[in-house]
Structure 1
Amino acid sequence: MNIENVAKTQLDTRLAKAKPIKLGWSDDETERIASALNELLANYQVHYQKLRNYHWNVKGADFFDLHEEFETLYTEANQNIDEIAERIRVFSHTPLSTLRDYLEHSAIKETGTDLTAEVMAREVLSDFRILLGYLVSVLSIVSEHDDAGTEQMIKGYIKRIEKHHWMLTAFLAK
């Protein structure tokens, strides 16, 4: 064996010098997955900001319950946002990252600060329904392309949102 022709590191091989491989998905497939994730990301960002707004501005007899609940929800939403953006990067795409982009691509809309506690809770329930629609859409796309990593992530979000929806619905049923 001629030692001069042996690669010293993996970087010396032709494969390592080639353009990075996108985990086995085609450009069209990664575009479709990343686009769906970006739509979800935009909706999560607007939802997150609404939760912050409500956390800061809730008033009345339900203040203590909802103030704490909104904080729990926005903390979870923030973590989901980070995971979604990082998942988009896994596919070598760029996550949406400006407020303008979020508002433009989101079905969830901003609200004011002068809402009653009950209206705030009902707005969050509405957001959950919208988010679930986007989550199911993403799940359909990633299942079609055998993207088990994103599928597992999305199923976890669905499970948690369904539980939050039930609990907030029960809270409003007083």
Structure 2
Amino acid sequence: MKATKENVALKDTLKDMPQTQLDTRMAKAKPVKLGWSSEEVEHVTHALNDLLVNYSVHYQKLRNYHWNVKGSDFFDLHIEFEQQYMEAQQHIDDIAERVRIFSKTPISTMGEYLELSEIKETTSQLSSEIMVRELIADYTILLGYMFTVVEIAAAQHDSGTEEMVKVFINRIEKHHWMLSAFLAK
């Protein structure tokens, strides 16, 4: 192919154009913060970590109860506890990833969970009724932490965190109601 005047001009034009977004000045710049101050980030991530540690202990209790429930309620509760711990696992992952969005580190060790959580472990040798009562108490605690996260997020115009946790609240309130109805038999 013969180099024409037009081809040379086109090549000169193309060499100065970014080939990808990574070639632009904006893309090479330091990543942009999400818009919150360090203090605001600290408030929301602290509240998220408080929720995370409590949810993590609650999750393990659900697994414990799923594995160890006995008696005439076994079939109903075994399935229900499994569904709830699978949901809890997803919520925990969402919370931890939300903390990471703010470039902070989610609390992530069992030792920290047990030390910092208001929700406490129980033994495996509980009646099904006591297991359900424990979970209802956990849900009351979790809801308190969730309401705190929503309040802090709303005050900082953090709609991502607020929306995520409001979905959790809806589900937890339903679990609380259903387990309470189970005890009313």
With the length of structure 2 as denominator, give the TM-score of the two structures.
0.87
Corresponding residue for 1:118? 129
Aligned partner letter, 1:109? K
Secondary structure of the corresponding residue to residue 93 of structure 1: coil
1:45 aligns with 2:32: no
Deviations 1:42-90 (A, max 9, x none): 1110000000000000111111111111001101000100111111111
> 2:46 maps to what in 1?
35
Secondary structure in 1 aligned to 2:79?
Answer: helix
| C-alpha RMSD of the superposition | 1.7
- Tell me whether 1:68 sits opposite 2:84 in the alignment: no
Between the aligned partners of 2:29 and 2:117, the Cα distance in structure 1 is: 37
The runs of 5 or more residues in structure 1 that have no matched partner are none
Other-structure match for 2:98: 87
* d(CA) in 1 for partners of 2:25, 2:116: 41
How far off its partner does 1:23 sit? 1.1
The Cα of 1:32 is off from its aligned counterpart by 1.2
Match of 1:103 in 2: 114
Structure 1 contact 135–154 (Cα < 8 Å) conserved: yes
1:25 pairs with one of 16, 36, 39 = 36
Paired position in structure 1 for 2:151: 140
CA drift at 1:27: 1.6
2:178: which partner in 1? Answer: 167
Structure-2 separation of matches of 1:10 and 1:69: 48
Residue 110 of structure 1 and its aligned partner are, at CA, apart by 0.4
Q: Distance in 2 between matches of 1:104 and 1:4?
A: 59
